[in-house]
Chains A and B, each alone.
Chain A
Amino acid sequence: MGEFRMPVLGADMEAGTIVEWRVAVGDAVRHGDIIAVVDTDKSTIEVEVFEDGVVEELLVPPGVEVPVGTPLARLRGPGAPAEPAMVTAPATAAPVEAGPARLGERPTDEVFVRASPMARRDAAVAGVDLVELVGSGPGGAVVARDVATAAASRPPEPGAPEVVPETRSAEAPRRRAEMRRAVGALMARSAREIPHYYLATTVDLGATTEWLRETNAQRPVAARVLPAAVLFRAVAVAARQVPVMNGVWTDAFVPSEAVHLGVAVSLRGGGLIAPAIRDADQMGVDELMASLRAVVQRARAGILRSSDFTDPTITVTNLGDQGVDEVYGVIYPPQVALVGFGRVVDRPWAKDGLLGVRPVVRATLAADHRASDGIEGARFLAAIEHLLQSPEDL
C-alpha cells in the first residue's frame, strides 16, 4: 500500500508537525480512521487515512516539523506480508522551537483517554494524568480547560513553574496572527488575480420559512433545521445546474464532477476558515444540517479533520446573523464563485397584484469573469431563487 505522507491541509500549507500518533506499529487501520493529529500554524487537524491497511512503521516522531509531502508512516495492504522494520531518521526536518513537551508513542498498556490534542499537550507539560480527569468536552472528552482546572487545583510543588496557562495564552494570539496573515495573503491573491463581477438578487423566502416553521414544530430541538442549511442546499443543487460556477481555475476553467461546498466559518476571537462539506449536492437538507453543525463545531473547537480540508469547488458565506443585508465577498482562489446571503427580513412585497409582507433575503454572487459571464451568473442566482420556492423538494 505504501506511504502515508504529510498532507496538504489548506491551500497555503507548507509544513506540519505531528502532535500525536493515534496508531502504533502493527495496528490495522480502515478508511476514515484518524491516524495522527497534525499541527499547522493555523489549526490542529485530525488526519484520516483513506485506505485500509496495517501500520508497518512510523517514520516521524511527534514534535518535529516536516514539509508537506514528507513520508510519515509506512503502511502495507491488509493481506501483504510484513517487512523488517528499519531505523529511519526524519529526512529534512526542522525542529520546532521551545514549545510543549513531546508526547512520544503510546505505551501499549496505557488506557486510551478521549482528549483533545491541546489537552494532551497541556497535560504532558503540566504533568497531569489524563486518566484522572473527568472530561467536559463533547462526549465526555477531556479538553484543555479540564487540564488547566486540574493543574490549578493541585497543591503547588515548590519551585514548579506555572506552565500551563502561559502555554495556552501564548498559543492563541500566535495562532490568530498566523491565521490573519494566511487569510490576508489568500484574499490579496484573489484581488490580484481574479477579475470579479458581482450580481445580487432579492429572494422571496416565504415558502422556505413556512416549510421550516412547520417542519421544526414537529421535531425535537436536536433535529431542527436552520435556514442556512436550506440556503446552502439550494446553492449546492444550483451548482450542478450551472456547472460553470463549480470548479477551479488553473490556466483555464476546470469544472468539478462533485460539489464540495465551502462554508465560511468565523472563529471567535477573530479568524476565518472555510472548510468543505463534501458532496453537498448528494445530501438532503437534514444531512446537510448535521454536517454543517459538525463542521462548525470542529472549526470552532480548533480540531478539524483532514476531510474538512477537501478543496471546496464553490463557497458560500452567510452573514445574516450579523445583521447585514448583503455580502459582497472575495472569491477563494482557485475557486471561481462565492455566494453570499444577508439576513432574512420582512419587507413589503408585491405578489399577484397585491401588496403584502414577505420574508426576503438578499443573495449575492461574486464570480470570476475569466470563467463565466454575467448571463451565466444571473442564471445561477435565478436557479437558487427558484429552488428556494420549493424547499420540500430540496
Chain B
Amino acid sequence: MNTTEARALFDRLVNRIAPEIDPATADPRAPIQDALELDSMDFLNLVTALHEVTGVEVPEHDYPKLATIDGFVTYVVDRTPCR
C-alpha cells in the first residue's frame, strides 16, 4: 500500500468508527485523540478495524506509533506490500 492509499484507508476507518468526524480537516501531525476527539475505546476500534481490513496486527507497545495520522500512514505503508 502506498501513502495515498494508507491515508484513504485511515479516513475510511475513522468514518466507520466515528461517522460525525471529518479527518480530512485534521492536522496530520497532531495527536489524533485530541484532533479527532477519539478516546481509548475509539482507538481500540480503529486498531481492530485496521486488522480486519489489512491483516496488520498492532501490538500494544506500538500504539504510540499510531498517535498521529502521519504515524498511522507510515506504520501501515511499512507493513503492507506494495503493488
Contacts and interface: CB of A to CB of B under 8 A. Distances in A.
Interface of A: 136, 143, 145, 213, 216-217, 220-222, 224, 226-228, 268-269, 292-293, 296-297, 300, 320-322
Interface string B40-83: 11001101100110000111110000000000000000000000
Nearest to A268: B20
Contacts of B29: none
A143 B19 contact: yes
What 4 A-B pairs are tightest by C-beta distance, nearest first?
A321-B39, A268-B20, A221-B48, A222-B48
A217 B59 contact: yes
A221 B51 contact: yes
Given A136-B16, A321-B33, A224 B41 contact: no
A227 B20 CA distance: 26
Contact of B41 (A143, A222, A296, A322): A296
12 contacts: A143-B19, A213-B60, A216-B60, A220-B51, A221-B48, A222-B51, A226-B40, A226-B41, A268-B20, A268-B21, A300-B18, A320-B40
B18 to A, nearest CB: 6
Nearest to B19: A145
A344 B14 CA distance: 25
A224 B60 contact: yes
A292 B15 CA distance: 21
Nearest to B21: A268
Given A217-B60, A292-B41, 9 more contacts: A143-B19, A221-B51, A224-B60, A226-B44, A227-B40, A268-B20, A269-B20, A293-B45, A321-B40
A268 B47 CA distance: 20
A113 B44 CA distance: 29
Contacts of B48: 221-222
A178 to B, nearest CB: 17
A292 B47 CA distance: 17
Contacts of A222: 48, 51-52
A228 B43 CA distance: 14
